[in-house]
Amino acid sequence: MTRAQQTVSIGLLVSSLYLALHLQLIPLPNLISQEILPVLPFWALVSFGAYLLFKLGWGVFTFNDVPKAHVELMKEIDLARTDLRTMGVDVD
């Protein structure tokens, strides 16, 4: 099963469970079905956004901790410089 299939399967499972709860096919106490269940999708959306912002912030925070990528990028820059010099372009 690919990751996309797994994501779609989990999304369908969660949405069908929410729909069953919302249509009261699965009985819940009135407090939960009237006050908590209607705001559950909004809460999930806000939580997902907070998670994505955290992942973005963590990626920016740990950006300099990638020495292999730095070495690889410097090699590519040197290769491009030598290639441009062979074509007669001044890169200094």
Q: pLDDT digit string (tens) for 56-86?
A: 999 888 876 678 888 999 999 999 999 999 9
Confidence of residue 12 (pLDDT cuts 50, 70, 90): very high
Lookup result for tokens 């998670």: 51
pLDDT for the residue 23: 93
State both tokens at 36: 């908590």
Residue 45: per-residue pLDDT: 96
State the pLDDT at residue 59. 85
12/88: higher pLDDT: 12
Q: What is the pLDDT of residue 65?
A: 67
Type and span of the H or E element at 72: helix 67-86
Q: How far apart are CA 33 and CA 92, in angstroms?
A: 69
pLDDT digit string, tens, across residues 29-53:
999 989 999 999 999 999 999 999 9
As a whole number of angstroms, the distance between CA 89 and CA 81 comes to 9
What's the pLDDT score for residue 63?
Answer: 75
